[in-house]
Amino acid sequence: ALLFDHKADPAVKLINGSQPIHSAAARGSVGCIKALLEAGVDINVANMTGRTPLHWAVDRRAVDAVRFLLGDGAD
């Protein structure tokens, strides 16, 4: 992805410990999730409250993201 070509950190953390993969999962953006995983982000990374991208996708009913994450080994 273009951002990663310019050295953007795919695992940058927000104040609550969430990373871009959490937001991508919540929005159901499978393409973004794939790009983040290809850049080395942990599929099961948890924020400060222990919530993973899969939790965020389920909460937002992002079915495509849930299916993708489960198919790619998310817990």
pLDDT tens for each residue of 10-57: 888 999 999 999 999 999 999 999 999 999 999 999 999 999 999 999
At residue 7 the predicted structure's pLDDT band, cuts being 50, 70 and 90, is confident
35 closest CA partner among 52, 10, 9, 58:
10
pLDDT reading at 3 higher than 70: no
pLDDT score at 17: 94
Fold topology of 2-71: 1.25.40
Alpha helices in 1-75 (DSSP H): 2-5, 20-26, 30-38, 53-59, 63-71
Contact 43, 72 (CB under 8 A): yes
At residue 1 the predicted structure's pLDDT band, cuts being 50, 70 and 90, is low
Cα of 27 vs its chain's centroid, Å: 10
Contact 16, 49 (CB under 8 A): yes
* Residue 51, number of CB atoms within 10 A of its CB: 17
- Report domain extents, the chain: 2-71
pLDDT score at 10: 80
pLDDT reading at 2 higher than 70: no
